[in-house]
Every structure is written in structure tokens, then in C-alpha cells.
Amino acid sequence: MNTTVLTIAAIFGITAIVLGAFGAHAFKKLISSEKLTSFEVGVRYQMYSALVLLMIGFQLDFSHYSERLAIYGIISGTLLFSGSIYFLSFSEYWKTNLKFLGPITPLGGLLMIIGWTSLLISFL
């Protein structure tokens, strides 16, 4: 059991639920339906990450490189992927040009893919 990973999993889960609730109610009035759809993708992937971190936080001992790489990839990838989507979803509402965050989203996705692939390797 790794309490750091479990703590991050809980934080990801809590914030995903809170952001999802705001997205389903309050944010509908603030951002376009297209932006809201993107926002919901960020929330969904954040929750996927919370759940997998919760499971592997209890199961893995993180003694192997692939297990540690899985954690780093999933955590950093989620922060970049979901975080950039959240900010980009509100760029019009804030009247701020955040297009520089556009390339951050696929980079976060790539890190999540690396994390999940490393997790698979750790099982083999």
C-alpha cells in the first residue's frame, strides 16, 4: 500500500466529482455545449485515473521501475491532459487566449498511455 498514491487518487476522485457536478449544473450557463463536452472528457479521464490509482495504490509495492513509471505517467498525464482541457474550456468565458495549452493536451494523453503501458508491463 502506498499512501501517497492513495492520497492523490482521493484528490483526483474528489475534484472529478466536484467538477463533474459543476459541469452538469453551473457551467452549462457559462460555456458553450462544445466546450462543456470537452470539459466532461477531462472529468471522465480524471476519474479513470483516480480509480486506477486507487486500485494500484493498494496492490503494487512500487519496487519495479515499470510500476513507478506507471504512477508517474498516469499522475502527470492526468494533470496535463485534464488540466489543459479545463483551462481551454473556459478560455472564451475568461476572454483569455490560452491556445498555447493546446499542445499540452496530447502530451498529457501520451504520458497517460505510457503510464498505462507501464502498468501492463508490470503485470507481465
Q: What's the Rg (C-alpha) of the chain?
A: 15
Which pLDDT score, from 0 to 100, does residue 28 have?
Answer: 87
So where are the chain's domains? 3-123
Q: Are 16 and 83 in contact (CB under 8 A)?
A: no
From the CB of residue 8, how many other CB atoms can be counted at a distance below 10 Å?
A: 21
Using the predicted structure, report yes or no on whether residue 74 has a pLDDT greater than 90.
yes
pLDDT score, position 66: 95
Side-chain half-sphere CA neighbours of 112 within 13 A:
21
**Torsion 14-17-98-52 (CA) sign:** positive
- Does the pLDDT value for residue 53 go beyond 90? yes
The whole-angstrom separation of Cα 70 and Cα 11 is 18
pTM: 0.93
Q: Where residue 15 falls among pLDDT bands split at 50, 70, 90?
A: very high
